[in-house]
Structure 1
Amino acid sequence: MKNDTPKKGGPARKPAAKKPAPAARDFEGERIAKVMARAGLCSRRDAESWIEQGRVAVNGKTLTTAAKNITDKDKVTVDGKPLSTRERTRLFLFHKPRGLVTTDRDPEGRATVFDYIAEKNPHLPRLMSVGRLDINTEGLLLLTNDGGLARVLELPSTGWLRRYRARANGDTDQARLDTLAKGVTIDGIDYAGVEARLDRVQGANVWITLGLREGKNREVKRLLEHLGLATNRLIRLSYGPFQLGEMAEGVVEEVRTRVLAEQLGGSLAEQAGVDFDGPVVDRTPEPERADPRERTGPRPKRPRQESVRPRQESERPRQAGERPRPDRERPRQDRERPLSERATKKAQPGTEKPRARKHVSALRSDRAEAEKGQRRRIESAATEDRKGRKVVVERVSAVARRGEAGAEEAADTRNARRFKAEREKTEGRADKGARTGKTARGKHKPSGETGAAKFFRRDAAPKGGAPRKPRGK
């Protein structure tokens, strides 16, 4: 046993100073880089680089290291601007075309997935991929704005099955494909069991469907090379419960929050630290207003906008049987003018509108009003026309009032004499027809002869001919 008693004549030893225990606050909250990545500002690697450059401050103090935990009470600023509020956890399905690299920045200058999405869909937040696809691999790619969710979904321990369809050049059979189910080791790398099924043979190529759960770098191509096949096309069909389906190439579709919560379950959601109650930031860019001086084509038509002015009492539609009101017949601008201005308002020369022609009924009513109060003389006579039909003729003429000029009386007298002459002339024709024994229809009137006389007269010889023979002889 060690004796701490100092020796005689020697210096006394001081007890070792205890290190202060770390404050509980140092273990609260989340790392600053993680918070910045969840806010959609940048990746964790970029956040750590920004902190080293002195661009990030917490509660007014510039950070020099990324080993810092913060809580919701801390105020974080990046380049002097406050950190945006954490957005709701969102997941997107993307049909990746061939020729795009799944990375934020490519040192070789090739087109990236995120540049393609930002150009086609500027309203989406900053996204990160769940796993990666090679430049020549096409198909389903999961994208999310939550780094925690992306990390959890790409872990092999999550156990989500990923299905691929590969076209490879070479010859194989189902028995050789079944050897991949037990797992293989290639170049010192262990690959877990893979489900492989031979779909069809197309000339020198074969189509194979594979299902794996690890998703290591170039795993499918290396497994097929192990069997002597050269992959010339690779399509990812599904990732866990999410399917590519009939989605068009280059299209991005968002998974509903309710569906995402159901597929994750409670354990994965808690492990990823998702937030389904946060807000959704609207990033739709405002349309740019073109300079009218630079317009080369025709002026676009302005959309028709309905007035939001409340309808006035004078503008309401007239009900059935309601009498028109004078103030409602005038234009609105005229009703709002003072009464003195309305009375003195005169039409400018050359601006008069042509009057509308009156209807026949209106003309008749005007004539009746003009003739109201005049005495009328009605003359009637019965006569016959040339065919013997009796016709009753009436003539209505206005009698001049007392004190009026005698010209009208003379005109009435002249018309009366003319009407009398026409009547006498018609009656004379009727008397002449009676004397000749003809009716109006031109037939002989009955002469009163007996039947025998009528018989012999009918048998008389006509003028200039032989006598007729009596009937029956």
Structure 2
Amino acid sequence: MTDQDDNSERIAKRLARSGVASRREAERMIEAGRVTVNGKLLKTPAFKVTDRDTITVDGKPVGAAEKTKLWRYHKPSGLVTTHKDPEGRETVFDKLPKSLGRVISVGRLDLTSEGLLLLTNDGELSRALELPTTAWTRRYRARAFGSVDEAALARLRAGVTVDGVSYGPIEAEVERATGSNVWLNVALKEGKNREVRKALDAVGLKVNRLIRIAYGPFQLGQLATGEVKSVPERVLQDQCGHLLKSA
């Protein structure tokens, strides 16, 4: 096809919108020789396609890009947030209803973390919601062993550095103390790998339970453990419409 076609788009973006993978992951698939267009092996992500082109990944046809959807999922502890775990552990995607089709998580929750995980069939939306520039607040309830004072909370608000990694400001307030543990309400905007655990550890708190209760405007609410619920299209457009247009 030609770059002059007004309905064309980059192959990696098309794969992302079709729910195959994020745009970056799609580019890696292309570089690994896993993608064909009209029967020809694609060698570069610098290629545009239209709905008339036939695309395959690992020999399997890629369907037309679906209407963007978003789901709230209450992730239980003990599942990894990956499509295939090299250690053979159960994944979030093993437990989801097959009727959802292929979906991608918006960020991750680690093995022992629980709570709200957003899922989408659109890799472009997933990428947009993860970007620091989107600046959506992630909120957690954290139970941790130890005690905390105002000086420790002030350190978190100022941002801490752990093993050379700098974490942005974290708002934390004590909910209640229970024996040798303390429950905290925690809010942050970055969402780096294991950020809550590492930042609280830096001020002497060992997290032993972590529940995400909100991601931006989306709440865990009354979702039962393991339950998945679609976000209404109107709400998706209200909250993410500007991101969908710029994706």
- Cα distance, 1:84 vs. partner? 1.5
Q: In the alignment, is the contact (CA less than 8 A) between 2:22 and 2:124 conserved in 1?
A: no
Partner Cα separation in structure 1 for residue 62 and residue 81 of structure 2: 27
**1:56 equivalent in structure 2:** 36
TM-score by length of 1: 0.48
Percentage identity across paired residues of the two chains:
50
Aligned runs of 1:145-294 on 2, under 5 Å? 145-266=121-242, 268-272=243-247
**1:348 equivalent in structure 2:** none
Partner Cα separation in structure 1 for residue 50 and residue 59 of structure 2: 18
Partner Cα separation in structure 1 for residue 110 and residue 60 of structure 2: 37
Which structure is higher in RCO with an 8 Å CA cutoff and minimum separation 6? 2
Question: What per-residue deviation string (whole Å, max 9, x for no partner) do you get for residues 99-127 of structure 1?
Answer: 0000011000000001111xxx1111210
- Cα distance, 1:185 vs. partner? 2.0
Partner Cα separation in structure 1 for residue 208 and residue 220 of structure 2: 20
Specify whether residues 100 and 167 from structure 1 end up closer, same or farther in structure 2 by C-alpha distance, changes over 3 A only.
Answer: same
Specify whether residues 27 and 181 from structure 1 end up closer, same or farther in structure 2 by C-alpha distance, changes over 3 A only.
Answer: farther
Question: What per-residue deviation string (whole Å, max 9, x for no partner) do you get for residues 401-440 of structure 1?
Answer: xxxxxxxxxxxxxxxxxxxxxxxxxxxxxxxxxxxxxxxx
SS at match of 2:98: coil
Is 2:47 aligned against 1:69? yes
Partner Cα separation in structure 2 for residue 39 and residue 47 of structure 1: 14
Higher CA-based Rg: 1
Aligned runs of 1:33-182 on 2, under 5 Å? 33-42=12-21, 45=25, 48-49=28-29, 52-53=32-33, 56-58=36-38, 61-72=39-50, 74-78=52-56, 83-117=62-96, 121-182=97-158
Question: What per-residue deviation string (whole Å, max 9, x for no partner) do you get for residues 252-309 of structure 1?
Answer: 000011101111243x23222xxxxxxxxxxxxxxxxxxxxxxxxxxxxxxxxxxxxx
Partner Cα separation in structure 2 for residue 157 and residue 42 of structure 1: 21
Partner Cα separation in structure 2 for residue 49 and residue 238 of structure 1: 32
Question: What per-residue deviation string (whole Å, max 9, x for no partner) do you get for residues 69-128 of structure 1?
Answer: 2242541232777531211000000000000000011000000001111xxx11112100
Specify whether residues 55 and 212 from structure 1 end up closer, same or farther in structure 2 by C-alpha distance, changes over 3 A only.
Answer: closer
- Cα distance, 1:48 vs. partner? 4.6
SS at match of 1:132: coil
Partner Cα separation in structure 1 for residue 93 and residue 20 of structure 2: 14
TM-score by length of 2: 0.89
SS at match of 1:270: helix
RMSD: 2.4
- Cα distance, 1:25 vs. partner? 4.2
Partner Cα separation in structure 1 for residue 60 and residue 223 of structure 2: 39
SS at match of 1:221: helix
Specify every segment of 5 or more residues in structure 1 that has no aligned partner in the other structure, as ranges.
1-22, 273-473
More strand by proportion, 1 or 2?
A: 2
Partner Cα separation in structure 2 for residue 28 and residue 68 of structure 1: 16
Specify every segment of 5 or more residues in structure 2 that has no aligned partner in the other structure, as ranges.
none
